[in-house]
Structure 1
Amino acid sequence: METGCLLRNESNSHFDNFGDEMMNNREVMIRRPVFQQDDIDRVCNYNSPDKTLSESIKKKYDKFNINIFLKNLFPIFNWLPKYNWKKNLLGDVIAGFTVAIMNIPQGMAYAMLGNVPPIVGLYMAFYPVIVYMIFGTSRHNSMGTFAVVCMMTGKVVLKHNLNVDSHVNSTVDGVIGTSTNHDNSIQIATIVTFGVAIIQLAMYLLQLGVISSLLSDTLVSGFTTAAAVQTYYDVFNAIDDVNVTAMIISSITIVALIFNNEILKPRIGKLCAFPIPIEMIVVLMGIFVSAQMDLSDIYNVKTIGLIPVGLPDPTMPDLSLLPSLIVDCFVITMVSYTISMSMALIFSQKLNYEVDANQELLALGLGNLTGSFFSCMPFTASLSRSLIQQTVGGKTQLASLISCSIILFVLLWIGPCLQPLPRCVLASIIVVALKGMFLQIKDLKKYWRLSTADGCLWLVTFLSVIILDIEYGLLIGAVICFSRLIVLSIKPYTCKLGLVPGTDLYLDTNRYEKTVDVPGIQILHYCGGLNFATKIHFRKSIFKVTGVNPQKQLSRQLKDDTKKIKCDLNNQKYFRVLILDFSALTNIDAAGVSALHCLIDDYMKINISIYLAGCSVAVFETMRKCNATQRNEPFTLFPTVGDAINYAKYENIESVNVPVIVSSTIDTWTSSQDINYNDSNYISRL
């Protein structure tokens, strides 16, 4: 049989049942033999990729290249030698300066959320950021403090502070026993940072970067919204203890920030790419007013207080407390990594470059490990600063180097100038910054419209964080999210396919009314995985869609004392061939292959044959291995549903006078008698 292809634009009588919209469609005519999978393998010279373990290891290390390895381990060696100084330097300098101006007030403010001294926020804007610049793969993530992560760390610090007090006072040498409450807070925060670093590095060694995708956007949205609500609740809960002067300063600061964000920023953004450094302006104004009016002594307004000049000495965290904090460390790890990867993926998709999820784990882990020796809390990407860094022209992580240089200058020389700054100014910055997270409550309506399950996940996570606590709320949301994934994975989609008359298209009969059944044949489409977890659902789906349960048929046969069930081909209820369309079968394991064999055996007992069509190469190879290992009969496999139908019509239902579609032609039909399946040369005529 010859093979050819014809493209034409003629009207066709076979389209009459479909209306005028089908009359002028282009038609493709392809004439070829009917293939089984073995025929395809032979004609196309199938080559199995199977190798022994030693061969796989040898192949891997034969291709080992030290230069490629170092570039992958240190991504800075990839982009820095190729850096376009003329094109990118100005944008990175501007972005670095802008981010540094934002980082100073935000870092100090978010450090207060973590119940640690404000100076810790500046340390976090320096030490881990330098490490991330070397090891990170995102070009635009601005690393450092982030409200939610600092808030979660602050909860841990607050919860364990009393335990640390009793622990440090019992220290043998008595040296640590003189620690202040701030020292205790920093100690706990650095232990959390160390624990987060260890978990992230372990995840990197196990190549678990994909785990970031397990926390859905719905979960993160509900979680962060509830975290913002908790902060606002704490603010209003302490309203009775408010200092009137501090309240006035906070009100003025909040109004100024909101006025800038809602009115000035949109208008100025159209004229200039540089945002107004409003946070830095209110900080400078707060310092000036506090120093001139002596707010600390006269009005009892709390200020930042003593800021040490220089960099902290490296100190090893007290690891004896780590076991009691490891659960909190894991929760913070998941949240910080998810936030960082989400921002990295947003920029990589927008600007067409790749980020490595596992390498990001290494960068975050090493950054936190370094930060744990220098009084830092866990760090992650900041949404607002990252967007600003990209918007004002930042191209690479060189912007982070510029930002770190400015932060270092502040730590070494400018720090004491920040001491008069009222803490209420930093608190106002937090309140306004969390406004965007608070307004995410509107996402509930969007998620509910998209999916009731997503809406429920958002609502349950939100309420769990509000009613219980951040850690428990995240745990409950994650359990629901994972449970939903499991349910979706063990209940794949199955439907019956019907033929579109005059074509070789097979569509879902429940959704397409003009499809027709092929006499004597049923076609089932299975989408998902077939494994130990889904095999039972797979069998039930087959029985439900076909309407035939072989076990029940056999029991009825015994009851009626009938020797054999006869299929009435004139009745659409009965069929002789069942074709399983596995074109959307993602994976299969030994249990799935065994389930297929059992299914085929059961249907064969009632004189129904099962053919498999459209299996991917990976699925086909797994089937072949299992058949060889278990010494089972091989499956009857076809590359397409059309091949399986044509073969089935010739082999199984010759008594039915129906045409066989040997090609995807619209109007060329060939009788089954045109094909001699016993002719070993029919494929060679290609």
Structure 2
Amino acid sequence: MSLKNEEQNDLSPKDSVKGNDQYRAPSGIHLEHEEESRNDFRQFESSDLFRHRRIYLEPQEKSDNNFKKFVIKKLEKSCQCNSTKAKNIIFGFLPVLQWLPKYDLKKNILGDVMSGLIVGILLVPQSIAYSLLAGQEPIYGLYTSFFASLIYFILGTSRHISVGIFGVLCLMIGEVVDRELYIAGYDTVHASSNESSLVNQMSDKTCDRNCYAIIVGSTVTFVAGVYQVAMGFFQVGFVSVYLSDALLSGFVTGASFTILTSQVKYLLGLSFPRSGGVGSLITTWIHVFRNIQKTNICDLITSLLCLLVLLPTKELNERFKSKLKAPIPVELFVVVAATLASHFGKLNENYGTSIAGYIPTGFMPPRAPDWNLIPRVAVDAIAIAIIGFAITVSLSEMFAKKHGYTVKANQEMYAIGFCNIIPSFFHCFTTSAALAKTLVKESTGCQTQVSGVVTALVLLLVLLVIAPLFFSLQKSVLGVITIINLRGALRKFKDLPQMWRISRMDTVIWFVTMLSSALISTEIGLLTGVCFSMFCVILRTQKPRTSLLGLVEDSEVFESMSAYKNLQTKSGIKIFRFVAPLYYVNKEYFKSALYKKTLNPVLVKAAQRKAAKKKIKRETVTFSGIQDEVSVQLSHDPLEFHTIVIDCSAIQFLDTAGIHTLKEVRRDYEAIGIQVLLAQCNPSVRDSLARGEYCKKDEENLLFYSVYEAMTFAEDSQNQKERYVPNGPSFSSD
């Protein structure tokens, strides 16, 4: 017994604590010394044996965040008036004044004229077709495309995007128009597009159905434009970041199913009320199958012939676009051929096909929106405004990045807003950028928005001269053109396998948004997609990835031990990484993950208290007939590590709950003799910790600028602590 004690007393202080394989010292003997030396970091740093060098950074002086001074400064800056500032404001609001005087005629004119002509030719049939989707007369679609091209030429900052009619927005406008027509008492079943005698019996004003439809459409457009200009004025373009690519793609695809469904009745020559609201897609298909026996054979044959011509030709255009100087305007050829066949074959008189009807020439007198309608359509205009500016801004930024120039997001919102406000006084409906026509502009040599002026001139020619010639054009042809132009959105299904491999969460967002937009309604689908996307963001931060880190050999780099092999670990030190902001949503997960990967200090402390409550046992040991009484105090085994370093590099911010959690974790671990160090905190996190009083004045050394620095500090501080530990336990014998 005494011989064994002598061997134990010969152990060095370092071995008595660190050499667990040789001896495990009862912690009850030296706990008091650990408590006294735990926070004495400055003493360690002043020691000659303290080998690592600390990094000290001098923070920048913080600017005065006084709100009153900030407002006064902004007002003073805004209210200053001089010629330079006035010029900058005018040039900023009218970008055309900046780039048009510098226009290189020889370099750009050929490409701009070519692309403008091609887009203008394509826009003629599409404008007429999408008018049906918006519940409007064909002439109003031509008006819309004409004014949008001119206004964006003046206000836009993108050189390539084509602003005009967009199918999804036309669908949303059409749903509002149908609802208001029903409320106003118009017969939506038997009303044809070329009627002009229906009188609103529920209003004091005499206005036929088509007149009231464009009043509703222009009023919604006006309100949506006001929203977009307000977004630009208050610089809330950041709203578009909440509409992710997956969300927008799913929304457009879901809305495309609704658009396709709405055009089926034109392809079959059926007449039934347009379904709107929740479940409109399902309701429309129910109407189709209920009336399938009334199919107009002439319209059906025309639709099939147009599909057989348009579909393969469109595919050939895309497949050989690199070899073609310009895409074949097959839609225009089909429209001309179908119009001639319908006119000379008298298909409307002989077979009862539905036709476009009379399209007037020239422009109608301007008319203000109906101010009494604004309260009823204000909510509908919100979704239309958001979708319009989100698509416009995203497309303008995408093509600007591709061609090496910059666009101003807020100016783009001004531009698209005024593309809706001003035309709403001229019998137009909502517009935005359109991807398909933008790609055509780019591929045909577009250099600037001068191409938009050329497009407007083509549309002006149609409006002044050619429009009445489309009188006999069948609506089934327009329906086919609308459906053919949905191919791009429906092709998104081909991208799903790759999207699933890259991000399963984005794929789920896509499906949820697509299904809700198609099966419920476009507005609810958009809202559902945004809410679900935000929920996914919260879900990702609620249970983020956590890991213990190891040191890469011959470096100061730390990586996850669960992801890489052959990483080195330091005895007595655990390094924990939390890959998310630490806030009220995930504070409990942070604690549970940390406790699981290290140890639970609450349970350890409870075990220590339980052991301390037990009385000292006396054991009688007999050696060679001599009875000795030895007092032995029961205690727990020493802990495997003495320091936890929390890598905060991936913690973007802390809230009050996060700071309290860090305090609680530190307090719990220090109660059992384990120090907690924080490393790589960004300035925002450091400010939050300072405001939350995480560190006292003599504890600034708990924060480190690198994990390696924290690890070195932990090693040196532990070596210093061991100098205060007694040489080992002494066993006394009476």
Q: Give 1:110 deviation, angstroms.
A: 0.9
Does residue 582 (structure 1) correspond to residue 635 (structure 2)? The answer is: no
**1:584 aligns to what SS in structure 2?**
coil
Does residue 185 (structure 1) correspond to residue 213 (structure 2)? The answer is: yes
Q: Is contact 1:531–1:592 with CA below 8 Å preserved after alignment?
A: yes
Q: Which residue of 2 aligns with 1:23?
A: none
Code of the residue aligned with 2:675 in structure 1: it is S
Q: Where does 1:253-402 land on structure 2 (aligned, <5 Å)?
A: 253-263=306-316, 266-267=319-320, 269-402=321-454
Separation (CA, whole Å) in 2 of partners of 1:590 and 1:278: 63
Match of 1:503 among 549, 555, 560: 555
Q: Is contact 2:608–2:636 with CA below 8 Å preserved after alignment?
A: no
**1:158 aligns to what SS in structure 2?**
helix
Q: Which moved more, 1:397-406 or 1:600-609?
A: 600-609
Q: Is contact 2:163–2:432 with CA below 8 Å preserved after alignment?
A: yes
Give identity over the alignment, percent: 31
Q: Which residue of 2 aligns with 1:86?
A: 106
Q: Give 1:105 deviation, angstroms.
A: 0.8
The one-character-per-residue Cα deviations of 1:608-655 (angstroms, maximum 9, x if unpaired) are 222222222343344445549999965622221111111222123446
The one-character-per-residue Cα deviations of 1:367-399 (angstroms, maximum 9, x if unpaired) are 212232222221111111000001111122221
Q: Which residue of 2 aligns with 1:620?
A: 686
The one-character-per-residue Cα deviations of 1:525-557 (angstroms, maximum 9, x if unpaired) are 222223344434333333233223x33333333
Code of the residue aligned with 1:255 in structure 2: it is L
Closer, same or farther: CA 578–565 of 1 in aligned 2, 3 Å:
farther
Q: Which residue of 2 aligns with 1:160?
A: 180
Code of the residue aligned with 1:362 in structure 2: it is Y
Q: Is contact 1:283–1:421 with CA below 8 Å preserved after alignment?
A: yes
Closer, same or farther: CA 264–83 of 1 in aligned 2, 3 Å:
closer
The one-character-per-residue Cα deviations of 1:590-614 (angstroms, maximum 9, x if unpaired) are 5433433333333322222222222
The one-character-per-residue Cα deviations of 1:22-61 (angstroms, maximum 9, x if unpaired) are xxxxxxxxxxx95545x222xxx74434554455557666
Q: Is contact 1:567–1:576 with CA below 8 Å preserved after alignment?
A: no
**2:426 aligns to what SS in structure 1?**
coil
Q: Which residue of 2 aligns with 1:74?
A: 94
Q: Where does 1:98-247 land on structure 2 (aligned, <5 Å)?
A: 98-165=118-185, 169-171=201-203, 174=204, 176=205, 178-234=206-262, 235=264, 237=288, 239-247=292-300
Q: Give 1:62 deviation, angstroms.
A: 5.5
Q: Which moved more, 1:50-59 or 1:466-475?
A: 50-59
Match of 2:709 among 640, 643, 654: 643
Q: Is contact 1:492–1:529 with CA below 8 Å preserved after alignment?
A: no
Does residue 48 (structure 1) correspond to residue 65 (structure 2)? The answer is: no
Match of 2:305 among 248, 252, 261: 252
Q: Which residue of 1 aligns with 2:495?
A: 443
The one-character-per-residue Cα deviations of 1:58-98 (angstroms, maximum 9, x if unpaired) are 76666984444444333334433433222122211211111
Code of the residue aligned with 2:365 in structure 1: it is D
Separation (CA, whole Å) in 2 of partners of 1:413 and 1:382: 27
Closer, same or farther: CA 168–605 of 1 in aligned 2, 3 Å:
farther
Name stretches of at least 5 consecutive residues in structure 2 with no aligned partner: 1-50, 187-198, 266-287, 615-632, 724-734
Code of the residue aligned with 1:153 in structure 2: it is I
**1:497 aligns to what SS in structure 2?**
strand
Q: Is contact 1:492–1:526 with CA below 8 Å preserved after alignment?
A: yes
Q: Which residue of 2 aligns with 1:669?
A: none
Does residue 494 (structure 1) correspond to residue 546 (structure 2)? The answer is: yes
Q: Is contact 1:627–1:633 with CA below 8 Å preserved after alignment?
A: no
Q: Give 1:416 deviation, angstroms.
A: 2.1
Separation (CA, whole Å) in 2 of partners of 1:72 and 1:34: 55
**1:271 aligns to what SS in structure 2?**
coil
Separation (CA, whole Å) in 2 of partners of 1:560 and 1:512: 40
Closer, same or farther: CA 318–635 of 1 in aligned 2, 3 Å:
farther
Q: Is contact 2:517–2:523 with CA below 8 Å preserved after alignment?
A: yes
Separation (CA, whole Å) in 2 of partners of 1:420 and 1:332: 33
Q: CA RMSD for the aligned pairs?
A: 3.2
Q: Which residue of 1 aligns with 2:658?
A: 592
Closer, same or farther: CA 626–312 of 1 in aligned 2, 3 Å:
farther
Q: Which residue of 2 aligns with 1:551?
A: 602
Code of the residue aligned with 2:173 in structure 1: it is T
Separation (CA, whole Å) in 1 of partners of 2:69 and 2:139: 55
Closer, same or farther: CA 217–264 of 1 in aligned 2, 3 Å:
closer
Closer, same or farther: CA 457–604 of 1 in aligned 2, 3 Å:
same
Closer, same or farther: CA 567–96 of 1 in aligned 2, 3 Å:
farther
Q: Is contact 1:221–1:443 with CA below 8 Å preserved after alignment?
A: no
The one-character-per-residue Cα deviations of 1:87-146 (angstroms, maximum 9, x if unpaired) are 122211211111111111111111111111111111111223333233323221101111
Q: Is contact 1:222–1:441 with CA below 8 Å preserved after alignment?
A: no
Q: Is contact 1:226–1:465 with CA below 8 Å preserved after alignment?
A: yes
TM, length-normalised to structure 2: 0.76
Code of the residue aligned with 2:145 in structure 1: it is A
Q: Is contact 1:210–1:357 with CA below 8 Å preserved after alignment?
A: no
Code of the residue aligned with 1:508 in structure 2: it is S
**1:482 aligns to what SS in structure 2?**
helix
Code of the residue aligned with 2:661 in structure 1: it is A
Code of the residue aligned with 2:607 in structure 1: it is R
Name stretches of at least 5 consecutive residues in structure 1 with no aligned partner: 1-32, 658-686
Code of the residue aligned with 2:110 in structure 1: it is L
**1:40 aligns to what SS in structure 2?**
coil
**1:498 aligns to what SS in structure 2?**
strand
Separation (CA, whole Å) in 2 of partners of 1:113 and 1:327: 20
Q: Which residue of 1 aligns with 2:43?
A: none
Q: Which residue of 1 aligns with 2:628?
A: none
Q: Which moved more, 1:595-604 or 1:496-505?
A: 595-604
Separation (CA, whole Å) in 2 of partners of 1:152 and 1:596: 49
Closer, same or farther: CA 265–652 of 1 in aligned 2, 3 Å:
closer
Closer, same or farther: CA 286–566 of 1 in aligned 2, 3 Å:
farther
Separation (CA, whole Å) in 2 of partners of 1:612 and 1:59: 39
Q: Is contact 2:546–2:578 with CA below 8 Å preserved after alignment?
A: yes
Code of the residue aligned with 1:646 in structure 2: it is T
Separation (CA, whole Å) in 2 of partners of 1:567 and 1:147: 73
Q: Where does 1:512-591 land on structure 2 (aligned, <5 Å)?
A: 512-548=564-600, 550-561=601-612, 574-591=640-657
Q: Is contact 1:36–1:636 with CA below 8 Å preserved after alignment?
A: no
Code of the residue aligned with 2:603 in structure 1: it is K
Q: Give 1:514 deviation, angstroms.
A: 1.3
Q: How many residues matched? A: 613
Does residue 611 (structure 1) correspond to residue 669 (structure 2)? The answer is: no
